[in-house]
């Protein structure tokens, strides 16, 4: 018989607190570097006490890894729900839009970029081999995309595509944020957004080169 278990309020609040602490850790590292992400600062950002932090994580690196695992878990679940037959660009676009639609979630590309920045900052960690675990999480998401494509994308191709997608999203966001009208015209973004143009380029390839 299928389980109909639904988490209670207390359990949901604990999960929300854990996720909030993990996100605060990555935000602080991204904004101010490794030294900025003390347990006290993380706790303050998440609006809890340092004692509460230790109820959820033994150290800062564990919070960072939880952020990574949670982000990838959500992305994989969303990817697996996509209708069959979509181009990889459209699959990841749908996954990103699903993240944007969640009240307590953030842009998928930005979340992944934050994790990558955090991993570079903590590569000297003696508590966890975080870089290796970061790679394994990325590999897991790439495997899910490869499985979705039913072999049309190898694991290698899916992994490279995911990384290119992250860079593409960040670059197009920069164009939209910082370009004036003349610069948008120079980029050829008058009739469509920079992001749409960028992902159309990924879909079709550099055919004019």
Q: What is the pLDDT of residue 88?
A: 92
Three-state DSSP string of the chain:
CCCCCCCCHHHHHHHHHHHHHHHHHHHHHHHHCHHHCCHHHHHHHCCCCHHHHHHHCCCHHHHHHHHHHHHHHHHHHHHHCCCCCCCHHHHHHHHHHHHHHCCCCCCHHHHHHHHHHHHHHCCCCCCCCHHHHHHHHHHHHHHHHHHHCCCCCCHHHHHHHHHHHHHHHHHHHHHHHHCCHHHHHHHCCCCCCHHHHHHHHHHHCCCCC
Q: What is the pLDDT of residue 110?
A: 63
Q: Tens place of pLDDT for every residue, the chain, 209 residues? A: 445 556 688 888 999 999 999 989 988 887 887 788 899 999 999 999 999 999 999 988 889 889 888 888 888 999 999 999 999 999 988 888 777 655 444 456 666 666 666 555 555 555 456 677 778 888 999 999 999 999 899 999 999 998 888 888 778 878 878 877 777 778 877 767 888 888 888 888 887 76
């Amino acid at each position: 018989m299928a389980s109909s278990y639904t988490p209670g309020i207390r359990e949901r609040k604990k999960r929300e607190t854990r996720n909030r602490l993990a996100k605060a850790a990555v935000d602080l590292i991204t904004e101010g570097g490794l030294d900025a992400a003390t347990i006290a600062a993380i706790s303050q950002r998440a609006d809890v006490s340092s004692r509460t932090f230790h109820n959820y994580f033994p150290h800062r690196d564990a919070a960072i890894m939880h952020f990574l695992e949670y982000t990838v878990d959500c992305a994989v679940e969303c990817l697996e729900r996509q209708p069959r037959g979509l181009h990889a660009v459209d699959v990841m676009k749908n996954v990103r839009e699903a993240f944007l639609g969640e009240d307590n979630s953030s842009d998928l590309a930005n979340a992944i970029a934050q994790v990558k920045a955090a991993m570079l900052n903590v590569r000297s960690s003696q508590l966890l081999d975080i870089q290796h675990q970061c790679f394994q999480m990325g590999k897991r998401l790439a495997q899910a995309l490869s499985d979705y494509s039913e072999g049309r994308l190898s694991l290698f191709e899916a992994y490279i595509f995911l990384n290119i997608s992250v860079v593409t999203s960040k670059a197009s966001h920069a164009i939209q944020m910082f370009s004036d009208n003349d610069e948008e015209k120079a980029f050829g973004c008058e009739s469509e957004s920079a992001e749409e143009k960028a992902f159309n380029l990924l879909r079709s390839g550099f055919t004019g080169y």
